Amino acid sequence: MKIVIAGAGEVGTHLAKMLSGEKQDIVLMDTDEDRLHQLEDNFDLMTVNASSLSIAGLKEADVPSADLFIGVTPDESRNMTSCLLAHSLGARKTVARIDNAEYLQPKHQDFFSRIGVNSLIYPEMLAAREIVDAIKMSWIRQWWEVDGGELVLIAVKLRRTAHILDIPLHQLDTRSTPYLVVAIKRGMHTIIPRGDDCLQELDLVYFMTMKKYIPYIRQIAGKDEYKDVRNVMIMGGSRIAVRTAKLAPEYMKVKIIEKDLERCHRLTELINDDRVMIINGDGRDMDLLMEEGIENTEAFIALTGSSETNILACLAAKRTGVSKTVAEVENMAYISMAEGMDIGTIINKKMIAASHIYQMMLDADVTNVKCLTVANADVAEFIVKEGSKITKHAVKDCGLPKGINIGGVIRHGVGALVTGNTQLQAGDHVVVFCTGMTMQKIEKFFI
Amino acid sequence: MINYRIVAKILGILLFLEAILLLGCSLFPLCLGESDLVAFLVSGGLTLVVGLVLFLLGRGADKKVNRKDGYIIVTFSWVLFATFGMLPFLVGRYTDSVANAFLETMSGFTTTGATIFDDIESLPHGILFWRSLTQWFGGLGIVFFTIAVLPIFGSGGMKLFAAETTGPTHSKLHPRLDVTGKWIWTIYLIITITHAALLVLGDMPLFDSVCTAMSTAATGGLSVKQSSIEAYHSPYIEYITTLFMLISGLNFTLLYVAILKRKPVRLLKDTEFRWYVGSYSAFTLFVTVALLVATPMGLEQSFRLAAFQVASLQTTTGFVTTDYMMWPSCTWLVLCIAMIVGACAGSTSGAIKSIRLAMLCKIVRNQFRHMLHPNAVLPLRINGVVIPGEIKATLLAFFFTYMGILLLGWLYMLSVGVGFMEGFGITVSSLGNVGPGLGSVGPAYSWNSLPDAAKWGCSVLMLIGRLELFSVLLLFSPSFWRKH
C-alpha cells in the first residue's frame, strides 16, 4: 500500500514511524529539509522536500498512484487544499486533519467525500473524547467501547483493596464470570495473560466485559469508594480544553484555569456554556487552586503545552486529594515514566490521531483500532469472513500465536465473551488484543 | 466640522415628505366635506415653502454626511416634524394653545399616545387620521422611512439608522440598508393591515379599524375615541388588540426571520424574546390575581383587563379598556415597572427594553459570582454571543442616565406645580413613550389639565425617550459644537 503523508509534524512523524514498521510504502512530504533528513536516516521511508500545495511536489511524491494521502500539517486549510489537489491528481483516499467541529457533523460527510476529502480527523476532538470517557468513570483508567457499547474494554489499576489479587486466572475465569482479562500492564511490560498468570498489586488490568457488569468489576477491583466526578478543573485553556469542556456531560461543572488574559476572553467566546467558568491565573499556583476549591474537585486535567508542567501539576493535585488526574503528555519519552508516577490517564494527541488514521489504512473490514497509550498493544476489531481459518475450529484449536487474545465477539448485535471453546462464525465481529506483532499477521486468521 | 448645507438639504427633503402627508390628509375633508380642509392646505403649503427654502439653502452641498451631521439631522428632523405637524391643530383652531398642539403632535410622532383633547369624537376625520398617521410614521422612525424609500443619505445612512433605531445593538437583515429598511417596513405594513382586517371582522367601523391598527403597530396609543378601546365594548377587539400590541413590541428583524424566512425557532430561542414574554406573563399574573382578590370581577374579566393593560403599558402603546386608577394601588406600581421595562429592541416601542434588563440582571449576577471567584473571567452572553465591554459600559451609562432623567423630570414636574403622583406618572409615561399617567392624568383623563410648562417638559422628555437619550443629549454637550 502506498501512503503519502504531508506534514512531518508530530502526528505525521509518529504515523510515518508506525506505518513504516508495518512494511508499507511511506512517502513523507514537508518543507523542512533537516527534519526530513533525520527521519530518512532512521526509518524505512522516502521523503520529499516540497510543499503539499505544490502540484509538482505532489507529483514528485507520486501522489497520482497513492492509495492514501494524509494531510496532517498544523494548518487546516492547507490540509484541505492539499487533499483536494491529491484527490484530483488521482489519490484513492484522502484524509485531512482539521481544527473545526463543524466539519465533523455527519451531515457534512457526504459533502466532503464528494469534493475529495474522504475522512477528516480532528486530534483535539479525539483527545477530548478520550478525556471525557476517562473522567466519566473516574476509577477506570481507559475505556473503549466496541460496536456502540455492546462490549467494553476497561483498564483498571489494582490496589491492595482488590479482591482478585494473586489468584491464577484459570480459577477466576470460569464460565460464569462476566469478564475476561485480556492484557496486563506490569511495570514496563505488557503481558497477554494465560491461565496460570496471577494479577498483582499495582497491575494495570484490561478487562473485556459488558456494560451491565461494570459495577461488578468495580466491586471486585476494590474501587467502591471512588466518587463520581461532578467538578472538573482544567489547567490550560488549549484547544483540547475547549473541546473537553464542550463534551463534558451536563452534570459536570468545569473550571478552566488559563494564564493569558487575552486567551481567557477568547475562551469565553468559544465556550458558550454556563457550566464552564474561566479563571484567569496560573494553574501552578496552589493558593489559587485552593481558593477555587480543588479539594472539592474530583478530576484535575492538565492540558498546558508543557508535558513536565502537566505531570507535576497532576502530582500536586493528587496530593490535595483529587481522585482522578489526567495529563497531556506529548513528549513520548515521558509517557511510561508518567505512568510509573501514578498519574491517572495520560493523553497523547499524536498517538490518538495516529491510531485513528491507522485504522483507515488497514483493510476496510477493520472498523476500530485503538493504539493503547500505556500498553504496547493494539486492539482491533475484525469481521470474520466466510471460510477464514478461525471458523474451522474452536478458538483454542486454531493455533493462534502467542501474544494474541480474542477478547469478545458480537454476533447479531449481541456481545459475548470468548473462551477457548467458543466457535466463531462468519459475520461475527471479534475484538482482538495483541502485542508485538503486525496487523497483517492477525488478519490472515480472519480474512 | 458640521456640514450645515447637507443638514439643511436633507431636512428640506424630509419636510417635503411631511407636506405630502399633510396634503394627503386633505382628501378626507375633500370627500367628506368637513371643516378641516383649510387647516391641511395651509399647513401643507407652509411646510412645502419652508422645505423648499431649506432645500435651496443646501444646494450644491457636499454629499458627505459625517457622524455629527447624523445626530443633528435625526434630532432636528423630529423637532421639525412636530413643529409643522402641529399646524393643522392650530390653523383649524381645534386648540388655541401652542403647548397643547405641540404636545399632541410630539406625542403622535414619538408614539407616546397622550392626548390633550377632551372631546375626540367631535374632531373631523382628517384630524383624527392625521393623529394616527403621525404615530404610524414615528413608529419605525422618520429617517428610517426615508432611508427605505429615498436614496438621499448615501453611505451616511447607517449612521442615521444607528442614531434613530432603538436598542443596544443594531442588526441588519440584508447587506444593504435600504433593502433592510424596505423589508422592515413591509413587516410593519403586514402587521397593520392584518390587525385592521381582524378589527373590521369584529364589527369595528373601517375608519376606526385603520386608525386603531396604525396606532397599535406603532405602539402609539392615540385612539379615535375618548374612552379608547373601552368604547367598543367588545372582548374580541380587546383580545385581538392585546395580541397585536404584543407583536408590535417584538424585534422586527426577528419577526422577519421568523415569518418570511420561516425560522420561528430563532425567535423562540432569542434571549430578549424570553425575557419579554417572561416579564409580561409575570406582570399579567400579578395584576390578574390582585384583581381577583380585591375586586368582585370574575376570572375571565380580570385576566382580560390585566392582559390588555399590561400589554398596553409594557409595549408602551397606552390604549386603555378600563380606568386602572380604580384598581388596588399595588397594581399601579407594577404597571409603572412595566412602563419602565418596555418591550423589545428593534420594535416600535419605547422605554428601557427587555434586552437591557436582561443584560443588567446578568451583570448583577456576574458581580456576585465575581465576589466568590475573584480571578474568574465572567462573560456577559446574550444569545450565546459575548457582549464586549464597551457595550456593557454604554448600557450602564444608559440605565443611569435614564433613571437620572426620570428623577430630574419628576423634580421639574413637581416644581411647575404638578402633583406628586401625577408628576411621576407623566414623567415615566413621557420618557417611555407610553401615554396614560397616574392620578388626575390617568387613563380616564386627557393631559389638558397640566400647566403649559409641564406640557413642554413632557414634549422634551418624549423626544429624549424616543431617540434613546444620547442622540438628543449629545447636542447639549459643548464639545459637540466645538470646531476641533
Partners of B379 on chain A (C-beta within 8 Å) are 265, 268-269, 278
Of residues A257 and B182, more confidently modeled: A257
CB pairs under 8 A between A and B: 38
pLDDT at B148 over 80: no
**B366-405: buried (b, 16+ CB within 10 Å) or exposed (e) per residue?**
eeeeeeebebbbbbbbbeeebbeeeebeebeebbeebeeb
Q: Nearest CA of chain A to the CA of B58: how many Å? A: 47
Query: What's A168's DSSP letter?
Result: B
To the nearest whole angstrom, how far is the Cα of A136 from the nearest Cα of chain B?
Answer: 25
Q: Is the pLDDT of residue A365 over 60?
A: no
B376 vs A contacts (CB less than 8 Å):
277-280
A424 in Cβ contact with A387 (< 8 Å) = no
Q: What is the pLDDT of residue A134?
A: 82
- Judge if ipTM > 0.90: no
The answer to whether the CB atoms of A279 and B384 lie below 8 A apart is no
State whether the Cα torsion B232-B237-B242-B245 is positive or negative: negative
More confident residue, A374 or B36: B36
Residues of A in contact with B378 (CB under 8 A): 268, 277-278
How far, in Å, are B97, B405, B451, B465 from residue B413 at the CA level?
Answer: 19, 12, 9, 16
- Check A261 against B377: CB less than 8 A apart: yes
Residue of chain B whose alpha carbon sits nearest to that of A256: B376
Q: Are A246 and A271 in contact (CB under 8 A)?
A: yes
> Can you tell me whether residue A167 is helix, strand or coil?
coil
Strand ranges inside A227-268, DSSP E: 231-235, 253-258
A233, A262, A272, A286: which to substitute to probe chain B, counting the most B Cβ within 10 Å?
A272
Predicted confidence band at A180 (pLDDT cuts at 50, 70, 90)? confident
What is the C-alpha separation between A69 and A86, in angstroms, rounded?
7
Strand extents, DSSP E, B108-182: none
Nearest CA in chain A to B387: A269
* pLDDT bracket for residue A364 (50, 70, 90): very low
Most B CBs within 10 Å, among A246, A255, A265, A288, to test the B interface: A265
| Cβ contact, residue pair B377, A278, below 8 Å | yes
Which residue is closest to B383 within chain A, CA to CA?
A272
Residues of chain B contacting A, Cβ within 8 Å: 369, 373-379, 381, 384-386
CA distance A104 to chain B (A): 21
How many residues are given for chain A? 447
Separation CA A51–CA A113 (nearest Å): 23
Give A292's contacts in chain B (Cβ within 8 Å): 373, 375
Q: CA of B246, closest CA in chain A: separation in Å?
A: 30
Tell me whether residues B377 and A280 touch, CB distance under 8 A: yes
Q: Map grid coordinates 454476533 to a residue.
A: A411
Residues B91-141 pLDDT 10s: 988 888 999 999 999 999 999 988 898 888 888 999 999 999 999 988 888
Listing from the earlier edge strand, what are the strands of the sheet with A189-191? Answer: A142-146, A151-157, A204-209, A179-186, A189-191
As a whole number of angstroms, the distance between CA B150 and CA B152 comes to: 6
Residue A417 confidence (pLDDT): 80
What percentage of residues in chain B have a pLDDT greater than 70? 96
Mutation target to probe the B interface, by most B beta carbons within 10 A, among A258, A279, A286 is A279
Question: Would you call B360 exposed, middle or buried from its count of C-beta atoms within 10 A (0-12, 13-18, 19+)?
Answer: middle
Q: Are A80 and A117 in contact (CB under 8 A)?
A: yes
pLDDT band at A440 (very low <50, low <70, confident <90, very high): low
Least confident of A56-65, A265-274, A425-434: A425-434
**What whole-number distance in Å separates Cα of residue B315 and Cα of residue A32?**
65
Judged by CB atoms closer than 8 Å, whether chains meet at A278 and B386 is answered as: no
Structure confidence at residue B200 as a pLDDT band (50, 70, 90): very high
In which band, very low, low, confident or very high, does the pLDDT at B201 lie, cut at 50, 70 and 90? Answer: very high
Query: Cell 439653502 identifies what position?
Result: B57
Contacts of A294 in chain B (CB under 8 A): none
Q: Mean of the pLDDT values across residues B152-168?
A: 69
The separation between CA A313 and the C-alpha centre of its own chain, rounded to angstroms, equals: 22
First to last CA, chain B: 7
Model confidence pLDDT, tens digit, residues A22-71:
777 889 999 988 888 888 888 888 889 989 899 999 999 889 998 889 99
- Average pLDDT rounded to a whole number, residues B438-448: 86
CB pair distance less than 8 Å for A292 and B384: no
The average pLDDT across A401-412 equals 79
Chain A residue set in contact with B, beta carbons under 8 Å: 261, 264-265, 267-269, 272, 277-281, 288, 291-292
Per-position b or e across A113-143, b if 16+ CB within 10 A of its CB: eeebbbbbbbbbbbbbebbbbbbebbbbbbb
pLDDT at B35 over 80: yes
Whole-number average pLDDT of chain B = 88
Mean pLDDT for B451-457 is 93
Which one has a higher pLDDT value, B207 or A343? B207
Contacts of A411 (CB under 8 A, 6+ apart): A425, A427, A428, A429
How much is the average pLDDT of B44-63? 89
d(Cα A96, Cα A181) in Å, to the nearest integer? Answer: 36
Which residue among A268, A281, A288 places its CB closest to the CB of B386? Answer: A268
pLDDT per residue over B368-389, tens digit each? 999 988 888 888 888 888 888 8
Distances (CA, A) of B317 to B241, B248, B304, B337: 11, 9, 16, 15
Residue A363: pLDDT band with limits 50, 70, 90:
very low
Instruction: Using CA coordinates, name the residue in chain A closest to B369.
Output: A277
Q: Is the Cβ–Cβ distance between B333 and B310 less than 8 Å?
A: no
Mean pLDDT confidence for A158-170? 80
A292/B377 touch (CB, cutoff 8 Å), yes or no: no
**pLDDT on residue A374:** 47
Q: What is the pLDDT of residues B295-317, one digit of tens each?
A: 888 899 999 999 999 999 999 99
CA distance A275 to chain B (A): 12
pTM for the structure as a whole: 0.80
| Mean of pLDDT values over A229-258 | 90
Closest CA to B443 of B292, B353, B273, B309: B309
Closest-CA residue of A relative to B362 is A274
Subunit contact A265:B373, Cβ cutoff 8 A: no
Q: How confident is the model at residue B198 (pLDDT cuts 50, 70, 90)?
A: very high
Q: Assign residue A371 a region: left if phi > 0, alpha if psi is -120 to 50, beta otherwise?
A: beta
Amino acid at B129: F
pLDDT at B34: 84
- φ/ψ of residue A332, rounded to 5: -55, -40
Lowest pLDDT segment from A277-281, B358-362, B477-481 = B477-481
Give the Cα separation of A257 and A259 in Å (integer): 7
Q: Chain A residues with CB inside 8 Å of B377's CB? A: 261, 264-265, 267-268, 278-280
Supply the mean pLDDT for chain A: 83
Residue B23 has pLDDT above 70, yes or no: yes
Question: Which residue in A274, A318, A279 sits closest to A295, CA to CA?
Answer: A318
pLDDT at A381 over 80: no
Q: For residue A336, name the pLDDT band (cuts at 50, 70, 90).
A: confident
**CA distances for A181 relative to A184, A192, A198, A221, B19, angstroms:** 8, 9, 10, 12, 91
**From the CA of B247, how many Å to the nearest CA of chain A?**
29
How does pLDDT run across A186-196, given as a tens digit for each residue?
Answer: 877 778 787 77
Of the candidates A268, A269, A281, the beta carbon closest to that of B375 is on A281
- Cα-flanking dihedrals φ and ψ of residue B370, to 5°? -65, -35
How far does A90 lie from chain B, in Å, by closest CA?
A: 41
pLDDT of the residue at A225: 67
* Residue B180 binned pLDDT confidence (cut-offs 50, 70, 90): confident
Q: What is the pLDDT of residue B155?
A: 63
User: Pick from B369, B375, B377: which is nearest to A288 by CB?
Assistant: B375
**Radius of gyration of the CA atoms of chain A, in A:** 23
What is the pLDDT averaged over residues A126-134?
Answer: 86
